[in-house]
Amino acid sequence: MSAILDLAAQVRSGAVSAVSLAERTLADIARADIGLNAVTRLLPERALKEAAEVDAMVAAGRDPGPLAGVPYGVKDLFDVRGLATTAGSTLYAGAPPATRDAEAVARLRSAGAVLVATLNMDAFAYGFATINAHHGTTLNPHDPARLAGGSSGGSAALVAAGLVPFSLGSDTNGSIRVPASLTGTFGLKPTHGDLPMDGVFPFAASFDDISPFANSTADLHAVWEVLAARVVEPRRREFRVARLGGRFRQNIDPDQLAAIDAIAPTAPLLDLPDVARARSAAFIITAYEGGALHRERLAREAMAFDPAVRDRLLAGALLPKRLYLEAQAFRRAYEARIAALVAEFDVLLAPATPCAAPLVEDPRILIDGALSPARADLGIHTQPISFLRLPALSVPLHRPGRLPLGLQLIGRAHREADVFAFAAQLEAQGVIGWSQPRDTGQATQQGAMA
């Protein structure tokens, strides 16, 4: 059962008012976010207006929609009418306000959902850490001494802390799946291009996608249906499963490896060829497109950019177009090659991140036995999947009281229903599932003192 749909049903029945729900959510966020640093802007005026509209529809006997009164937040790169779309950068803080909502936000509003906040991110979505020079670092609700991941860290942290039932993020090379893994939430990268990108500040169009975070498969599925504007019933059946081998069984936590092998002990080990080359090509495409997007402004005021992304954008702006075109040609050939290789399988199993959340004070992780910057390498297992444009759902292993860890359930193009159904089976078996942070109140207080 979806907690989101249950909450919406209570609002539609009049058992709970959307306004009281919005007021409580806003108050909870204002109190708890002191120690999470997940929010960039609270939106009380808009939230209460939208909630009042929902209550008025209920009072008039009209259906406000499947997400009636459900509060949510969006990563700070979605257009929100009346606000500047900053993409996490002070460079755009004074930009003209958006004249309309992003299409995804508009669809959610039409479904009755209530927008309460915009959420922290790595500047221009370039990083896996949510370390932002202006807004600060988003902390992990499970341990405020650790990163929440990125670049959609604010979106993941707010959901993981139980402060909103869902949020929206974006995923280019893992920016939903990485923070989902580190915070113990469910996060989807859809089939590339399936969900609406209108009104979303771009990073690298070849890979950019948007999707929700939630705390259960059913909740994620419910929001995905609204965004996709279609209803797909997941069917319980026997799935043809493969475990990804090679690089996907290296740089992996022992608990992830054990879980993958326990979920599908007789499933074949599938080695994707040239994974390292695919990831390198993804780096080139991402860097080139990101650099090209900001080239003119970099030339005028490079020092105004967030130091954490400036050098990488400059490097991308200097890449020769020939190299970019070669990487895109490799991608097209590689996609066709892998599509044939995985055609007989419904779900591929892989780790989502190579480890649990790293410390804020030392944001490095072990990759191939050497310490490497978490900002760049937390996506070692997600980036090659983005390269293939396939849907991938990050699901949290059920391990209450321990730092979260996620797995990727990777499906065939446009077959999100398969990964939802497979995830629902694992959740029913107790293999995966959201765990409430041990003491969110205590954690946020510790974070405030850090």
- pLDDT value of residue 449: 25
| Interatomic CA distance for residues 432 and 325, integer angstroms | 40
Under DSSP, the state recorded for 74 is E
Active-site residue set = 75, 151, 175
Whether the pLDDT of residue 15 is over 80: the answer is yes
Q: Is residue 67 part of a domain?
A: yes
Q: What's the pLDDT score for residue 384? A: 95
In a domain, 354, yes or no: yes
So what's the pLDDT on residue 450? 27
Alpha-carbon distance of 251 to 257, in angstroms, equals 10
Check which CATH number belongs to the domain holding 13 and give it: 3.90.1300.10
Query: Residue with structure tokens 């950068």?
Result: 89
Quick one: pLDDT at residue 444?
37
Polymer length in residues for the chain: 450
pLDDT at residue number 401 = 87
pLDDT at 231: 87
Total H helices, total E strands in the chain? 15, 17
Decide which of 450 and 105 is more confident: 105
Residue ranges in 302-415 assigned as alpha helix (H) = 307-317, 321-342, 374-377, 383-387
Range of the domain at 1: 1-264+338-450
How many C-beta neighbours within 10 Å does residue 228 have? 17
| Residue 437 lies inside a defined structural domain of this protein | yes
Is 0.85 surpassed by the pTM of this model? yes
What are the backbone dihedrals phi and psi of residue 73, each rounded to the nearest 5 degrees, phi first? -130, 165
Interval 322-335: pLDDT, tens: 999 999 999 999 99
- Residue 439 contacts residue 233 (beta carbons within 8 Å): no
Q: Mean pLDDT, the chain, as a whole number?
A: 95
User: Mean of the pLDDT values across residues 134-151?
Assistant: 97
- With contact defined as beta carbons under 8 Å apart, do 189 and 171 qualify? yes
- The DSSP code sequence of 157-210 is HHHHTTSSSEEEEEESSSTTHHHHHHHT-EEEEPSTT-S--TTB--S-TTT-EE
Contact 174, 204 (CB under 8 A): no
**Arithmetic mean of pLDDT, 106-134:** 97
Looking at the domain assignment, is residue 322 inside a domain?
Answer: no
Please give the pLDDT value at position 447: 32
**Is 444 inside any structural domain?**
yes
Give the bridge partners for 200, in sequence order. 78
**Least confident span in 1-5, 149-153, 349-353, 369-373:** 1-5
Could you tell me if residue 320 is inside a domain? Answer: no
Q: What is the pLDDT confidence band of residue 400, given thresholds at 50, 70 and 90? A: confident
pLDDT at 448 over 50: no
* pLDDT category of residue 437 using cuts at 50, 70 and 90: very high
Whether residue 426 is contained in a domain is answered as yes
Classify residue 67 by burial, with Cβ atoms within 10 Å: 0-12, 13-18, 19+.
buried
| Distance (Å, whole) CA 152 – CA 190 | 15
297 inside domain: no
Give the mean model confidence (pLDDT) for residues 60-86. Answer: 98
The count of structural domains within the chain is 1
CB 394 within 8 A of CB 408: yes
339: left (phi over 0), alpha (psi -120 to 50) or beta: alpha
Q: Is the pLDDT of residue 195 over 70?
A: yes
Single-letter code of the amino acid located at 226: V
When pLDDT is averaged across residues 251-255 and rounded to a whole number, the result is 97
The answer on pLDDT for 445 being more than 90 is no
The enclosing H or E element of 75 equals strand 71-75
Look at residue 232 in the predicted model and tell me its pLDDT: 82
Q: 439 pLDDT band (50/70/90 cuts)?
A: low
The Cα angle at residue 436 between residues 431 and 439, in degrees rounded to 5? 145
